[in-house]
Structure 1
Amino acid sequence: MKLRTRISAVVFAAIIATPALMGASSATASPSSGLVSMGAAGGTFANCTALNKKYPHGVGKKGAKDKVSGASKPVKTFTVSTSVYNKNKKSDRDKDGIACEKK
C-alpha cells in the first residue's frame, strides 16, 4: 500500500471514530429542559421559557436591535449568536433579529 493511500485510510478511520470517542449521540428531546436538539454552538429550544433558562435576555443575530413601541426601552443585554438565533428564529415574534428577548 502506498504511503498516501495509507494516510488517507488512517484519516478516514479517525473521522469515523471521532464521534464515538467524543461520546456524541443523536439529538434527543429532553422534556424537562425544553431542549429539542443540540448543536455545536447551542440548541433548538421548544419555547421561550426553555431558551430563557440558558439565555436570560434572549438571543439575537449580530447587528440586531430590539424593536420597541411606546416608552419602553430596548433590550441590549441579549446574547449575540447568529447560529443559535437561526435555530430558534421561530420564537422571534416581532422579527427584529432577537428571539425571546426580555429585560
Structure 2
Amino acid sequence: MIRTDRAARISLTVVAATGVVIAGLLTPQLAGAAPLAPAVSAPAAAAASSSGPSTVLRTAAKPKPKKYANCTAINKVYPHGVGKKGAKDKVRGSTKRVTNFTVDSATYKLNSKSDRDKDGIACEKR
C-alpha cells in the first residue's frame, strides 16, 4: 500500500506472503532544496545508514512458534489463521477460499490439532 501526505512524504507498506510486514516512510528531496525535517523518530533515524538515503524500513517481529490452547488464542495473534507452506483452504460450493492466512510451518505443526478440515491451515477465518 502506498500513501502520500500533504508534505509529499510517501508511506510504503508491504506484506510478504510469509506474513512479514515491511513499512517505511520516504521523504523526497529536490536538488538544491533545504533538507526536510526527518519523518521518523530520532532512534529510528540513528539506525539508518548515514551514507545512504534517509529511508528507514522496519519489520514487524514474527511471533515465536508456540502451541496455542484453541482457535480464539491463535486468531488473536494470527487473525486469519496459520498454515504450512503450499496450503490451500478447502471449501465447498461457492464459498471463497481464505488466502490471507499467515504461512508459518513451525507454528502450524505445533497447532495442527486445530486444523479441523486437514487442509494445512489451522483456524482459518475471513
TM-score by length of 2: 0.49
State the match for 1:69 in structure 2.
92
Report what 1:101 is aligned to. 124
Q: CA deviation at 1:100?
A: 0.1
What is the one-letter code of the residue matched to 1:93?
R
Residue 57 of structure 1 contacts residue 77 of structure 1 at CA under 8 Å; is this kept in 2? yes
Residue 41 of structure 1 contacts residue 83 of structure 1 at CA under 8 Å; is this kept in 2?
no
- % identical equivalent positions: 66
The 2-side partners of 1:43 and 1:94 are apart by 21
Aligned residue pair count: 64
Matched, 1:47 2:70: yes
Q: Which has the higher strand share?
A: 2
Aligned partner of 2:120: which letter?
G
Cα contact 1:57–1:102 (8 A) shared by 2? yes
CA drift of 1:43 comes to: 1.1
Counterpart-to-counterpart distance in 2, 1:87 and 1:102 = 19
**SS at the partner of 1:43?**
coil
Q: TM-score, normalised by structure 1?
A: 0.60
Gap runs ≥5 in structure 1? 1-39
How large is the RMSD of aligned CA atoms in angstroms? 1.1
Structure 2: runs of 5+ lacking an equivalent:
1-62
Deviations 1:28-78 (A, max 9, x none): xxxxxxxxxxxx832100000000000000000000000000111000000
Structure in which a larger fraction of residues adopt helix = 1
Superposition misfits of 4+ residues, deviation over 3 angstroms: none
